[in-house]
Amino acid sequence: MNGFTSCPNKVHFMAHLGKRIFISTVAALMAIPAGASEIVHRTEYRVSLGILTIARAAFLTKIEDDKSYRVSGDISSAGLADLVTNISAKTSVDGVLRGDRLQASRYYLYYKSGKRARTYEVRYSNGNITSTTVKPPRRLPKNWVNVPASDMRSVLDPISGLIFPGDADVCAQKLPIYDGEMRMDLVLSPKGAQNFSTAGFSGKATVCSVRFVPRSGYKKGRSDIDYLSKSSRMEIWFAKSDTANVYAPVYVRIPTQYGPVTITAVKYGAS
């Protein structure tokens, strides 16, 4: 099967992967807090499947004087993927700055693939999930893995979850992420360093290997989830923003059955 005839299958696969891993990871990349003198911060990313650009994203971070923050963004399909089906998302997170960390109070995602659309809203209190609203409600299959109460405690939102203070050991983390439907762990381990350069940044990036562990909130036996959970080739590169004194991702590689998906910063730390 050549690349053109398999493209609808690739995009269909990405539509499913996106809401959990793809969109959540892109959103997390954008959540770079501005420095003390900056209240507005814009970042842009390119998402590719192999050599093809399949999506673009733009996010805006605003931090108020009282240390509350809001990150909002738009993600849309692009290039050949946009000719096959339209995939788009609007997402936002509100919260407060506690020390060097971002602590969410509300996470929102509107996700549309073709004519189908769904919204997710999650409320947090001190890192615990207090409520989840999904519209329209999802019809769960018999082999659905329900999210137990134990998986709703000490959870990170998918936007702020990949931002670390400047003194953190970023590759020694297990990140408990919940996106309104799926509860997953991202287990990071060190993989060295690489040079990285883009608008607003040039220097060394810390490379972490990532192990994807699905815990609950998904259809058991799904091929894309199984494939990613068995892969050892997912990685995230973190760069340090000196103005904000945080580490945030600048490059992500997600292995899929149709080839690697890469998310690359085309602006980092540039307003």
Total tally of structural domains belonging to the chain: 1
- Please name the residue that has the structure tokens 């108020």: 64
Residues 239-249: tens digit of each pLDDT: 887 666 778 88
Residues in the chain: 271
Tell me whether strands 144-145 and 218-219 are parallel, antiparallel or unpaired.
Answer: antiparallel
pLDDT on residue 108: 92
Rounded to whole angstroms, the Cα distance separating 157 from 88 reads 20
**151 inside domain:** yes
Q: Which residues contact 71 (CB under 8 A, 6 or more apart)?
A: 27, 30, 31, 59, 60, 61, 62, 92, 93, 159, 160
Per-residue tokens: 217? 């909130």
**146 inside domain:** yes
Mean pLDDT of 212-221: 92
**69 inside domain:** yes
**104 inside domain:** yes
| Residue 66 burial (CB count, 10 A) | 8
**2 inside domain:** no
Confidence of residue 267 (pLDDT cuts 50, 70, 90): confident
Mean pLDDT of 220-245: 85
- 3-class DSSP string for 245-257: CEEEEEEEEECCC
Residues 250-263: tens digit of each pLDDT: 898 988 887 888 88
The answer to whether 219 and 197 are in contact (CB under 8 A) is no
pTM of the prediction? 0.83
**1 inside domain:** no
Residues 20-51: tens digit of each pLDDT: 555 555 555 545 544 444 456 667 888 888 77
Residues 105-129: tens digit of each pLDDT: 999 999 888 788 999 999 999 889 9
Residue 10 has pLDDT above 90, yes or no: no
Rounded to whole angstroms, the Cα distance separating 216 from 225 reads 11
Q: Which is nearest to 260 in space by CA: 51, 105, 86?
A: 51
Residue 209 has pLDDT above 50, yes or no: yes
| Sign of the dihedral defined by the CA atoms of residues 201, 264, 180, 147, in that order | negative
DSSP states along 104-129: EEEEEEEEEETTEEEEEEEEEETTEE
**86 inside domain:** yes
Q: 21 lies in which domain range? A: 7-267
Cα angle, residue 261 at apex, residues 143 and 58 outer, rounded to 5°: 105
